Amino acid sequence: MSITVSWDTEADQPSARLAAWRSMQAVTRGAKEEWLALFAADATVEDPVGPSHFDPEGKGHHGQEGIASFWDKAIAQVTRFEFTIRDSHAAGDEVANVGTITTYLPGNYRVDTDGVFVYRVGEDGLIRSMRAYWELDRAMATAREVEPT
């Protein structure tokens, strides 16, 4: 059984949770400029945390230029995103979302990535850091061909 967290964006939500929700919405629409505008000028994205094929040195993507480059390498290559957040824990200026990101890739492949996605915001509500904890091998084990949509 899967439970999806539903956020009432009209209700008073912690600013980190709202920033995370806005980030996911921009990604699902392929709205790069809207997504970039959610990040502070000196923000960092680590997706995933540590060395990866997106970030071989594991130091993260820094500032608007680095985060834009991450979009081009990782997000722009996906034909469709679905986010299923099963739980969300807001504390202070951060939120940790537990869930699955389903990506549809060229060639009709689907990959489900389970993880914990942590956003930290500043007083202005802009994202200062986004850190995604997930494992490439686990995600790739879910890769499968699907019918074209």
Report pTM: 0.91
List the alpha helices (DSSP H) in 32-71: 32-36, 63-70
Work out whether the CA dihedral 6, 10, 94, 130 comes out positive or negative: positive
Mind listing the pLDDT tens digit for each residue in 6-45? 556 556 789 999 999 999 999 999 999 999 999 999 999 9
Q: Is the pLDDT of residue 3 over 60?
A: no
Mind listing the pLDDT tens digit for each residue in 54-84? 999 999 999 999 999 999 999 999 999 999 9
